[in-house]
Amino acid sequence: MNLKLTMKPKTYNFYIMVVTAAVLTAIGLVCLYGIGYYTITTESMPNWIETPLYGHYIDSMNLYIYPFVVLLLVILGLCIPKRIVPRQTLLSSGAGILALNIIIALVLNIEASLGFLLGISIVIQTAVMILTIIKWGGLTFERDGYFIQVGSAMLHMGIVIFVFDFVIMRTSGLHLPLFWVATILITIGTVLSFYPEEIGRMVRFH
């Protein structure tokens, strides 16, 4: 395996990468806080999940994580569809979707706004993944190579489905099947992205 980082600083993709890393770090910190709070409270009040305090905890955690999940989904949208539409159009569309998402959150609720954003993301990521697999010529990628491009598309699709599953479908009977779909997409996407040459040799050999 021979990976080379060719992305130059102060470019569109460089800033996307930096912001994505920052958002993922923030999400991780919020999750660590939530786990710590849950553990400490459980030790001091074993039955607290049966009290209104648990509902307040869930609402608070959703409120803390909401802006970072929205940012992550918007960033994923800015990352993938730029291969289909001009960058300026993409940025304008992203800003419009973000504004509409905030309006939905204010008028309805956070879950409805996330459902709206996730629905758009799933449609876009599905289209990009299919177009990548069939080698549609209108797509442009940061790196060349069929397997690394398919892996990138599958990885992004898996992340969106994973977020959709845990945010919207956590109480649904489809929760577990969607979890495994996301896991498979993320796993295969990661393997294809990091080992494209090895996968290519295996395919040619067979």
| Owner of token pair 């892996």 | 151
Residue type, 15: Y
Q: Considering only CA atoms, which of 131, 150, 135, 133 is closest in space to residue 192?
A: 150
Q: What is the pLDDT of residue 7?
A: 47
Q: Kindly report the pTM of this predicted structure.
A: 0.67
For the chain, how many structural domains are there in total? 1
pLDDT in the model for residue 184: 92
Spatial contact of 1 and 195, defined as CB atoms under 8 Å apart:
yes
Q: Give domain status of residue 80, yes or no.
A: yes
Residue 113 lies in a domain: yes
Residue 20 lies inside a defined structural domain of this protein: yes
Task: Give CA separation, 188 vs 43, 94, 118, 122, 182, in Å.
Answer: 39, 28, 21, 18, 10
Give the domain extent around 67.
12-205
Q: Is residue 4 part of a domain?
A: no
Give pLDDT tens digits along the chain (206 positions).
444 444 455 566 677 778 878 888 888 888 899 889 989 999 888 888 888 888 888 888 878 888 888 787 777 766 654 555 666 666 777 778 778 888 888 888 877 888 888 888 888 888 888 888 887 665 555 566 778 778 888 888 888 888 888 777 777 788 888 889 989 998 988 888 887 777 777 776 65
Count, residues in the chain: 206
∠ Cα 63 28 96 (to 5°): 55
Closest by alpha carbon to 165, among 101, 75, 98, 69? 69
Helix (H) or strand (E) segment spanning residue 201: helix 196-205
Please tell me the distance from the alpha carbon of residue 177 to that of residue 93, in angstroms, as a whole number: 32
Look at residue 42 and tell me if it is in a domain. Answer: yes
Query: What pLDDT sits at residue 92?
Result: 76
pLDDT of residue 206: 58
